[in-house]
Chains A and B, each alone.
Chain A
């Protein structure tokens, strides 16, 4: 069975650090950064990128539409 690998790209400058993407990630990929963007918001990032399955949950619930999701199939 082909395994899926995913990745997200966060528009850091537009992320407001609300964190609603974090609990909806089934594989605990996302965390809020310790750092802040130029507006002073912490922003989300892939703390655990290997676990991303490109389910798009995070991007779908992101109110600010700052998350893009990429997906590839890797031969198992």
Chain B
């Protein structure tokens, strides 16, 4: 059989969602951001809420998320996305509102905004991409950088004594009553992507039911920052990030499960 007989519109089983624009992603080759974008946009499409959703982009590698996500979006100042999302959701309670933030944005400069939006139980979704490094500014130490990990601002490795421990922001906010659903996912394998997409879907369903804040952490790679090939970085992530940031649900239906 000729390939041309297979490649026909009626045989199409998977292609990029229309909720992503046709712009070439600004991310490095192999970066998990693109996959996290794709599944988030697929969820909106699957739920039929694209026209009713407002996204908030952070500062960091995903500052240009609004160029790629084909929905109404706002770009927030560094760390302020949860406050911006609060502002939107409070005046448009029937719209779906989400933030998409990296580790520096969410856990360092925006720690306070994250904590308090979670504590108020804002009816929003927070998607938190954690790759343990500041990618955009060139590979500096992040709050989630692992112990001993070398970055351009921890060139001899992160020392706990002087730089503190990697921050488990997700476990921290899971303690707060306003937070309904907390999970940690990844996007490095097809199985992981499917699970992560399910988790994001669940997060938006929670918003639909007005049950409180839903928080999805996606542990991801930064092959440029970690100075590895994309495939190596995914292996390194499994071996080094996952033990400290374990996969799975942390809080379900408002109850801690881990």
Interface set of A (CB-CB < 8 Å, partner B): 5-7, 9, 14, 16-20, 22-24, 41, 46, 49, 54-57, 59-72, 74
Contact = CB atoms under 8 A, between A and B. Distances in A.
A74 B1 contact: yes
Contacts of A6: 6, 13
Interface SS majority for chain A? mixed
Interface stretch (B26-34, B152-160, B245-253): B26-34
Contacts of A65: 15-17, 20, 34, 38
A68 B17 CA distance: 10
Contact of B35 (A19, A46, A61, A74): A61
Interface SS majority for chain B? mixed
Nearest to B13: A71
Given A19-B229, A70-B8, A24 B33 contact: no
A76 B38 CA distance: 35
Contacts, number: 99
B231 A20 contact: yes
Contacts of B193: 60-61
Interface string B228-257: 011100100000000000000000000000
Interface in B162-190: 187-190
Contacts of B35: 60-63
B76 interface: no
B234 to A, nearest CB: 7
Contacts of B34: 62-65
Contacts of B17: 65
Given A14-B24, A71-B6, 18 more contacts: A6-B13, A16-B28, A17-B29, A19-B230, A24-B189, A59-B15, A60-B190, A60-B194, A63-B25, A63-B31, A63-B38, A64-B25, A65-B20, A65-B38, A67-B14, A70-B11, A70-B12, A71-B13
